[in-house]
Amino acid sequence: MNKEQICILIVDDEEDIQELVQFQLENEGYKVLTASSGNEGFQLFQNNDIQLIVSDVRMPNGDGVEFLDKVSKIKMDPPYFYFMTGFADISKDESLAKGARGFFSKPFNLDEFTKEINNCVEANLLK
């Protein structure tokens, strides 16, 4: 699988963050979908082949924790999941225990974010 075949879903109710992360990841060669809530993200997840999800924690219409729970319940081998948040209702340790691979605190360094996503993809998905 090459980068163009990797689909990443960005879920955040802040449109500027969605656009920034989408632009960065598309420049890296990934296919990127965006959603504004956990419920919208879950619909996209059900209708697309998504390998990696980056989701805000706090959002109206389905928060990130609920979204991760739904994804984990319906797929034996769920996609890699990262949280990003400025106001954590869940600690990094709690998010990892729920199955998230990582946690980005807003504001985050975009270069470090991209490096982490690339490392995850290269280590786990480019086979």
pLDDT tens readout for residues 17-28: 999 999 999 999
Identify the three-state secondary structure at position 44: helix
What percent of the chain has pLDDT above 70?
Answer: 96
Quick one: average pLDDT of 4-21?
A: 95
What stretches of 1-127 adopt beta strand conformation (E)?
7-11, 31-35, 52-56, 80-85, 102-105
pLDDT in tens, 26-78: 999 999 999 999 999 999 999 999 999 999 999 999 999 899 999 988 876 77
**Torsion over CA of 125, 2, 81 and 59, rounded to 10 degrees?**
-170
pTM confidence score: 0.92
d(CA 45, CA 112) in angstroms, rounded, equals 25
Query: How far lies 65's CA from each of 5, 11, 18, 84, in Å?
Result: 26, 12, 18, 11
Every domain of the chain and the residues it spans = 3-124
CB count in 10 Å sphere of residue 39: 17
Per CATH, the number for 3-124 is 3.40.50.2300
Q: Which of 110, 112, 2 is nearest to 51 (CA)?
A: 2
Structure tokens that stand for 122 in this block: 């290269």
Phi, then psi, of 55 in degrees rounded to 5: -130, 140
